[in-house]
Structure 1
Amino acid sequence: MDDYLIPPAGWRYAAYPWFARDTAPDLPKLVQVGRVLLPEFFHLVIGTEDAWAIDRSGRPWVNAGPTVLFLDFQVFEGEVDMAHATSIYFDLPEVYERVRKVIGPSKWKRLGIHYITQYLAEFTEEEGRPDTDPTAYDEGPSGIRSRRPEVALEWLDKLQSHAAEAYAEARGAPSPKRKRVKMTDEFLREVAQVYRYAENMDMPPTRDVANHFKAPHSTAAKWVAAARRKKFLPPAESAANEAARAAARTPARTEPHAERRLELEWWIKDSMIQADIELEKDPKRKKEMMDKLQNYKDELERLGGEIPGRED
């Protein structure tokens, strides 16, 4: 471990989700940054030991009286950026100068990532927000908020899955989350839909298939080839023809309404999922959701498309 990650005597470092002193109702989203997961918003606390106190119930909290610097970070487009710095009690320049002598600003971002990663490890181990998290509890009219609300369970599932996949990758073993896929017509149609959508958006289509199904690129390429054999995708162009077309800047021929059909197919699949979710929350929305879904299906049939999930 780098020496600067260990606080000197009399100081302490810690990181927690959300920006400092935010009163957000729940945990932020977890997002991928390189090979790790991080909260979309988090903050680093650099403070003297006397900044940490214990309340009457035995829970820790950060006392803002002594020297404390709060550094807020946000993940944006795969990069971690420091949003702003705050302090309480002492003026920010005064606190900044004291902290700068302990650890320089050039190391603050790496320090923040290290300690929020440590927080996530504790979160996984304790199966919920760690007892050392002063923001984990919120006393209100209904009492103390649970350490394991619904979003915390989602965090646990995502963190545990990510850890299992990383461990399997390090050992050269197949991902525990990846099961053998049966290349049914329904599956290959979905591969074709993902592929065509990526092509229409000028994105690498095979890579998008791999990302969509969380599979290696080589496996996705085999699925794409199988979809072509089933004629769910047109035959691949030769490299020479593709280069010539690109050089001539002539767009690929597309079947009339193909893009609209593809869009409708995705909307229908998404609407089916959303309908199931919404109907559990509010059964009164059933008619509204089903009418919307039927409109999509009617338009797709008029354009000669195939309703997703329909059995012939």
Structure 2
Amino acid sequence: MWLSVKISAFVIMVLGMIAFMRRYFHQRFFQRTLREKNRLLAQAPAYARTAADHAAHHCPLIVTRWLQHSGALEHDLAQTVHLYQSGMLRATPNGKWLPFHAEQWYTVPNPGFLWTATVQAAPGIPLLARDLYFESRGDLQIKLDGIFPMAHSQGFPVDQGSLIRFLAEIVWFPSAALSNYIEWEQIDTVTARAAMSYGRITDGVIFHFDAFGDVERLEAERYYSHGSLATLEKWTMRVIPGSYKTFSGIRVPTELEVTWGLPEGDFTWLKLCISDVEYNIELDGLRLRRQVAVAY
């Protein structure tokens, strides 16, 4: 009886220590991402400018139609963006689909983003992921339960992939298409290529539109990591038909699938849903004021 009580007390103590360590590392993870978010958003100007000032920007007709149809030309330029995601992802073509929830923040004048996600790897055991694009550099980290490192990727392939990702994701803040670091080239009546130059990288994404100006699909050559290697492969982000919704007057797609076109076949690895989008958000009490200023 006495031994049983001692064992039970020891088990309770160990479980308590595990719970404490989990809380500690989770808090440490999110405190770090909070600092990174504030550093990212601090780059944004205090004033938003109207997109209408840029209506004559050198965009192909189909891109202008997209901006008009989305409502972007009737509102301020997006300086910062905050959105919520949920969905399913998997690491390998035959891997198990894992549910996730994520938040993402963007800055547009100085292109960058911070994506933080909680992936349900197993019952009660999450993967905490953080993908940062800041000052033209990418940095991806994944930790099991916020404690054990699973992946940490940096370097040129990550930088290139982050640029491609940012450029494709302007579908959620279309006024970014007017940024001076993006050059547009019309391919045909419903297709245009956006080339983005930032830092040491210039690369592009092909935008496919329907006749009304909604984005249907985006394609690029992006680095795909397998083991210690990274090779350029076809990367496609497809909008699920009928998924467009309007947030703060801006029409955006809310359901998408992301697929790698690998030599052995297509690998759809991500299915996501956007539940909310905010533009020109506040940062620690500093309001990014929604008023007209001199266009830059």
Which protein is richer in strand relative to its size?
2
Q: Scaled by the length of structure 1, what TM-score is found?
A: 0.23
Q: Scaled by the length of structure 2, what TM-score is found?
A: 0.23
Higher RCO by CA contacts (8 Å cutoff, separation 6 or greater) = 2
Q: Which has the larger radius of gyration?
A: 1
